[in-house]
């Protein structure tokens, strides 16, 4: 089983739609969770961290479910500029700063 698993997509949604991605992780001792965004042929950039209580940043909401070992990203009112690949990232082992990256979920927003 992969340490971090994501549905590769693509998710094709119209502008204004709400879309959600899930990501599962295998190690229950994982400490920290993030969503990175990667545009086509560009470098990954941190989108947001994911906290146990859930967190929101504008149109983006991230949630963590430790019991089921998954994190989610919800994007409301999708924009064309949201088209990208969203990488689920986990700090897999306690007391280490090494990050484990998922393969990414591709989102395509169309007019």
Partner 1 sequence: NAGVTQTPKFRVLKTGQSMTLLCAQDMNHEYMYWYRQDPGMGLRLIHYSVGEGTTAKGEVPDGYNVSRLKKQNFLLGLESAAPSQTSVYFCASRKATDPYEQYFGPGTRLTVT
Residue numbers of the site for partner 1 (CB under 8 A)?
4, 8, 32, 34, 41-46, 49, 87, 91, 97-104
Q: How far is the CB of 23 from partner 1 (least distance, A)?
A: 11
For partner 1, the closer CB: 78 or 105: 105
Residue 73 pairs with which residues in a beta bridge?
21, 62
> 8 and 102 in contact (C-beta within 8 Å)?
no
Cα(28)–Cα(68) distance, rounded to whole angstroms? 9
Tally Cβ neighbours within 10 Å of residue 50: 23
For partner 1, the closer CB: 38 or 108: 38
Cα(60)–Cα(20) distance, rounded to whole angstroms? 10
For partner 1, the closer CB: 64 or 102: 102
Q: How far is the CB of 47 from partner 1 (least distance, A)?
A: 11
Q: How far is the CB of 60 from partner 1 (least distance, A)?
A: 16
């Amino acid at each position: 089983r992969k340490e971090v698993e994501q549905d590769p997509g693509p998710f094709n949604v119209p502008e204004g739609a709400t879309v959600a991605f899930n990501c599962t992780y295998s190690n229950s001792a994982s400490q920290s969770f993030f969503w990175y965004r990667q545009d086509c042929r560009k470098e990954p950039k941190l989108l947001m961290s994911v906290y146990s209580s859930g967190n929101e940043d504008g149109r983006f909401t991230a949630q963590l479910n430790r019991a089921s070992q998954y994190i989610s990203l919800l994007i409301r009112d999708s924009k064309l500029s949201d088209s990208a690949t969203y990488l689920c990232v986990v700090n897999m082992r306690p007391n280490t700063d090494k990050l484990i990256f998922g393969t990414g979920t591709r989102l395509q927003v169309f007019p």
